[in-house]
Amino acid sequence: MNETEIKNLDGEYIASTYGRLPLCPAYGKNATLTDVQGKEYIDFTAGIGVNSLGIAPQEWIKAVTDQLGKIQHISNYYYSAPSAVLAEKIVKSSKMKKVIFSNSGGEANEAAIKTARKYSFDKYGKGRSKIITLIDSFHGRTITTLSATGQEVFHNYFFPFTDGFEYLRAGETETLKKLLSDSSVCAVMCEVIQGEGGVNVIDTEFLSEVRKLCDENDILLIFDEVQTGIARTGSLYAFENIGVKPDIFTLAKGLGAGLPIGCCVLGEKCADVFHPGDHGSTFGGNPAVCAGACVVMDTVSKPEFLASVAEKGKYIVSEISAMKLPAVVEIRGKGLMIGVKVNGSHKELAKKCLAEGLMVLTAGKDVLRFLPPLTITYEEIDKGLSILKKVLG
């Protein structure tokens, strides 16, 4: 099919929940992608932080297809090696206790929210179910995770939303103390770096303070690492970098390297909250997806790999700084999660980048966001940056 045929078919039959950009990717290699017309693009998006190992990574393809050739799905009534092996890798690397597999970030967050509420219910009974999240956060698109998302624009149309969420501005420790004073809160949930909200790095001192207040009040701290996890920020999990350990954290995007997976990781306190029948997912822990995710974990958890992510991130930031582009207001983020705050419309600039052969994301109101594959080469980075210079210069 040619580009026009694809666009027409999509427009006619897929509900228009997305404002699509004019690109039909056909195939690619690592961070270089070719569209159906044969034009090449440098990928600074990785499918929104999903293609952590780039496009068509050979070892991952082999693991997934080998598993597909054996058995493609087993219901959760039975045991399966790939999910058990993956669970061990995640638990040991994070020093947590147990995992719950699902298929997306939103679902992983649902599991985290359910865990926190059940932990509190089991121990304190009804009425201690509130969860505090941050303003400008993003936690997913289900009715409950939309409630958890601290952005007013998401709290529309679909009423009634799930009750029991309150929003806090990052840094406002005194407000948090007030919110905690009526004994109705069971958890605080936040991203370590807010992705969709604008690549906002949450202050480490504030997060330490939150950890302390949670400990004092037996409140669970949940980190949504759906975007920051799996080496994105230069450490396997972003929380390792800040020395604040959550009671629960969630993973999704980069873990599957392109196949759907979500994972809710439970620490000591809440490892045994669930009993058979309390929670479930038909596809959660799918063996082919998990076999691929095992390759991701083995690849990205190597110290040299993590160091390379941090180095590439620093290189991109320093190269953009050195361009002294008038449109650039601020560069922020960590590792290969980079936000460039710009003057002018970030959406228009993203479109211009695309027209020139560079795929970028936007975030917040005025931020260009880069989440390239973690395996992007310096040659690909340089190609992408030269396009960025041309567009923003």
331 forms beta bridges with 340
Residues 6+ away with beta carbon under 8 Å from 229: 236, 237, 238, 249, 250, 251, 253, 254, 255
Residues within window 177-216 making contact with ligand PLP, judged by CB under 6 A: 191, 195-196
Smallest gap from Cβ 263 to ligand PLP, in A, equals: 11
Nearer to ligand PLP, 67 or 109 (CB): 109
Q: How far is CA 56 from CA 28, 37, 51, 64, in A?
A: 7, 19, 9, 12
Q: Which pair of structure tokens corresponds to residue 53?
A: 């190992």
Smallest gap from Cβ 49 to ligand PLP, in A, equals: 7
Give which of 347, 340, 341 is closest to 384, Cα–Cα. Answer: 340
Nearer to ligand PLP, 139 or 346 (CB): 139
Smallest gap from Cβ 228 to ligand PLP, in A, equals: 7
Binding span for ligand PLP by CB under 6 A among 133-141, 209-217, 235-243, 363-371: 133-141
301-331 in b/e form (b: 16+ CB < 10 A) is beeebbebbbebbeebbeebeeeebeebeeb
For residue 140, state whether it binds ligand PLP (rule: CB under 6 A). yes
Size of residue set near ligand PLP by CB under 6 A:
15
Nearer to ligand PLP, 360 or 385 (CB): 360
For residue 232, state whether it binds ligand PLP (rule: CB under 6 A). no
What is the Cα–Cα distance from 186 to 248, expressed in whole angstroms?
Answer: 12
Smallest gap from Cβ 107 to ligand PLP, in A, equals: 6
Helix (H, G, I), strand (E, B) or coil at 25: strand
For residue 258, state whether it binds ligand PLP (rule: CB under 6 A). no
Q: Which pair of structure tokens corresponds to residue 18?
A: 């997305």
For residue 105, state whether it binds ligand PLP (rule: CB under 6 A). yes
For residue 252, state whether it binds ligand PLP (rule: CB under 6 A). yes
Nearer to ligand PLP, 340 or 385 (CB): 340
- What are the E-state strand segments in the chain? 25-29, 32-35, 40-43, 98-102, 130-134, 165-168, 185-190, 193-194, 200-201, 220-224, 248-251, 262-266, 328-334, 337-342, 358-359, 361-363, 367-370
Which residue among 43, 110, 136, 224 contacts ligand PLP (CB under 6 A)?
Answer: 224
Whether 251 and 217 have beta carbons less than 8 Å apart is answered as no
For residue 138, state whether it binds ligand PLP (rule: CB under 6 A). yes
CA 142 to chain centre: 15
Instruction: Point out the residue whose Cβ comes nearest to ligand PLP.
Output: 105
Binding span for ligand PLP by CB under 6 A among 93-101, 135-143, 240-248, 293-301: 135-143
Strands 165-168 and 130-134, sheet pairing: parallel
Residues within window 43-102 making contact with ligand PLP, judged by CB under 6 A: none
For residue 106, state whether it binds ligand PLP (rule: CB under 6 A). yes
Measure the CA dihedral 314/372/58/82, to 10°: 100
Nearer to ligand PLP, 105 or 292 (CB): 105
Smallest gap from Cβ 32 to ligand PLP, in A, equals: 24
For residue 136, state whether it binds ligand PLP (rule: CB under 6 A). no
35 forms beta bridges with 25
Smallest gap from Cβ 292 to ligand PLP, in A, equals: 16
For residue 281, state whether it binds ligand PLP (rule: CB under 6 A). no
Helix (H, G, I), strand (E, B) or coil at 266: strand
For residue 139, state whether it binds ligand PLP (rule: CB under 6 A). yes
Helix (H, G, I), strand (E, B) or coil at 196: coil
Smallest gap from Cβ 224 to ligand PLP, in A, equals: 5
Which positions touch ligand PLP (CB under 6 A)? 104-106, 109, 138-140, 191, 195-196, 224, 226-227, 252-253
